[in-house]
Chain A
Amino acid sequence: MWEFTQTSVHWIDIVLIVSYLAGITVFGFYYKSHVKTAKDYFLANRSLPWWVIGLSIIGTNIGSNDYIGAAGNAYSIGIAQANFEWIGAIPAMILSALVFIPFFWRAGVYSIPEYLGLRYNNAVRFIAACVMSVFAVVIVGVFLWATAIMLQTYLGWPIWFSILVTATVVGFYTISGGLGAVAITDTVQAFIMFFTAIIVAFIGIEKIGGFDMFIKILQNNYPDHLHSFLPANHPVFPWPGVILGLGIVLSPAYWCANQAILQRTFAAKSEWDGKASMMFAACLKTFVPFLIVMPGLLALTLAGKSITHQDQALPWVIKHILPAGISGLMFVAFIAALQSSIDSTMNSTSVMIVRDIINVAKKTKLTDRAQLRLGKLFTFIILIVGIAFAPITAYFQGIYVYVQYALSLFQGPIFALMLFGILDKRITPSAGLFSMISGLAVAAVLGWLQFNMLYIAFLSFVYSAIALYIVSLLTKRKPEAELKNVVYSNVVEID
């Protein structure tokens, strides 16, 4: 289990990887002095500018599962995988920037469940926080396992050693530096990812014989890989499912209601910075397929269909295409992707556990000092549980699909509550609670009936929306005064 395998990694690559890990650790130690209150730890004292948040959002969004899973899917289905970055992200990011973020920022919340608590009641807040926290811990395990596979393939490190090294580095700066350290390291990591992607694409296309040859091989041998959509009867990504489930429900749910993504926009130094950060992230998102889809297409054009498992496409590119130094850089980008996702997930989950679960369950507000201490403690606990969960990921085929499937089970109902709660003041707290609980049950039943994950998201969203309106007709509204800066019609008036 702890046996190190001999590999042919060049010393330059090892120096790059070790330097990066050491640099990030030193930065975490330096940033520790900036954290004195819970607001510093969870919201970086509301001091972040739009461009830092925008880069940080992309850093968080691109995880190790994207690098391995999306490259693997691109190898298998082609450019249709880019839909997760285009139609499956950008419209929702515009919606998030212009409609959702202004409410969150003005309400001064620390988390999405806290907003749901203001809009509905504490029961909705508590349940949403519990569901999101459980998923987040699972995600930490998935990220760690994906990295361990990569480290094992590339450096020959044993699985558990790889998990512990990455967990130690990420845990150190996240626990000591809070959201400020997370956002700044994410920014650096996003730079590394884009820089490396450009170099990898350049080297890979050169190796094939130029861009024209690259396109020619794809057109002649794999013409289906150049279509943005797959047929309606495709078993995993049918286009109606991609449009209805991903484009209309899963994507807006992720970009408008995902705590790990949105927490840094709450930390923006102004409302405009919060909105602009998401728009800037959407601009960057346009180019993300070059990072994560291109390696899969390079593997396909160079190796053909000889790669046995699609998740091996990216490791194949690193091992067979990239020269010494560049493969180390690619590896650093991969580790950066992991770290920027895992640090945000841990920090944002600790916010929900401390403020939305413990605070609500206790019914008396924790002191600032207690919130800070508990925040750090739970960040550590989330990491430990994630480490314990990591090996279970091995039982699932295709990391990316597995993560998306888990998301589809709860994002439909939560997004229905967010969207209609923000737009329509007639929606009542009781309707919110009923729709959330029954919507989660509907999603679970659809999952049990083996519906495609994209249809689960869409149908559970539609169900929850209908339930919200029916129950609202029968129950009591929240007083207007309590909805100020929480519902759209009550916000525009203040301008």
Chain B
Amino acid sequence: MTEILYSLPLWYAKVTAMLIFLGMLIVAWLLPYNFVVQGAPDKKRWRDLRLWATLLTIVQLFIYYIF
């Protein structure tokens, strides 16, 4: 088990990290709109927290692509 892990190249790590971010984004968009905006004082577009999650994920994918 340890030998298999040691033999994996570093780019596996980057890809895995990026997949985790993408997975979290999918989870966010699977949540119903009403659940995400529950309690918001108005229905403005920016209150949809799934959009915030999308922006965050794009930035992180860029960071892990570079480094």
Contacts and interface: CB of A to CB of B under 8 A. Distances in A.
Interface string B1-13: 0000111101011
B41 A270 contact: yes
B35 A495 contact: yes
Contact of B5 (A105, A232, A271): A232
B34 A495 contact: yes
Chain A, interface size category, equals 35 or more
Contact of B49 (A97, A227, A228): A97
Contacts of B24: 91, 94-95
Interface in A310-336: none
Interface in B28-66: 28, 31-32, 34-41, 47, 49-50, 52-53, 55-56, 59-60, 63-64
Contacts of B47: 272, 276
B28 A283 contact: no
B27 A98 contact: yes
Interface in A84-105: 86-87, 90-91, 94-95, 97-99, 102, 105
A411 B49 CA distance: 27
A272 B49 CA distance: 9
A134 to B, nearest CB: 31
A114 interface: no
A227 B67 contact: yes
Contact of B38 (A239, A242, A495): A495
Nearest to A97: B49
Given A227-B10, A233-B6, A240-B5, A87 B17 contact: yes
Contact of B53 (A79, A243, A247, A279): A279
B16 A243 contact: yes
Which one of B10, B52, B59 has the greatest number of beta carbons of chain A within 10 Å? B52
Contacts of A274: 39
Interface in A224-254: 226-229, 231-233, 238-240, 242-243, 247-248
A329 B36 CA distance: 39
Contact of B64 (A86, A226, A233): A86
A379 B49 CA distance: 35
A433 interface: no
Contacts, number: 113
Given A86-B63, A286-B56, A102 B41 contact: no
Contact of B32 (A99, A270, A272, A492): A492
Interface in A245-283: 247-248, 270-276, 279-280, 282-283
A45 B32 CA distance: 29
Given A98-B49, A495-B32, A286 B59 contact: yes
Contacts of B17: 86-87, 228-229, 243, 247
Given A98-B49, A227-B10, A228-B67, A272 B21 contact: no
Contacts of B35: 102, 491-492, 495
A95 B27 contact: yes
Contacts of A270: 39-41
B41 A282 contact: no
Given A98-B49, A272-B38, A286-B60, A229 B20 contact: no
B33 to A, nearest CB: 9
A94 B5 contact: no
Contact of B36 (A95, A98, A243): A98
Nearest to B24: A91
Given A98-B28, A99-B27, 17 more contacts: A91-B23, A91-B24, A94-B24, A94-B28, A98-B31, A98-B53, A228-B64, A232-B6, A238-B5, A239-B10, A243-B17, A247-B17, A247-B20, A272-B47, A273-B39, A276-B52, A279-B53
The 7 closest A-B pairs by CB, nearest first: A271-B39, A272-B39, A229-B13, A239-B13, A228-B67, A272-B40, A270-B39
Interface of A: 79, 86-87, 90-91, 94-95, 97-99, 102, 105, 226-229, 231-233, 238-240, 242-243, 247-248, 270-276, 279-280, 282-283, 286, 491-492, 495
27 contacts: A91-B20, A94-B25, A94-B56, A95-B24, A97-B49, A98-B27, A98-B28, A98-B50, A102-B38, A228-B13, A228-B17, A229-B17, A238-B5, A243-B13, A248-B20, A270-B41, A271-B39, A272-B41, A273-B39, A274-B39, A276-B52, A279-B52, A283-B55, A286-B59, A491-B35, A492-B32, A495-B38
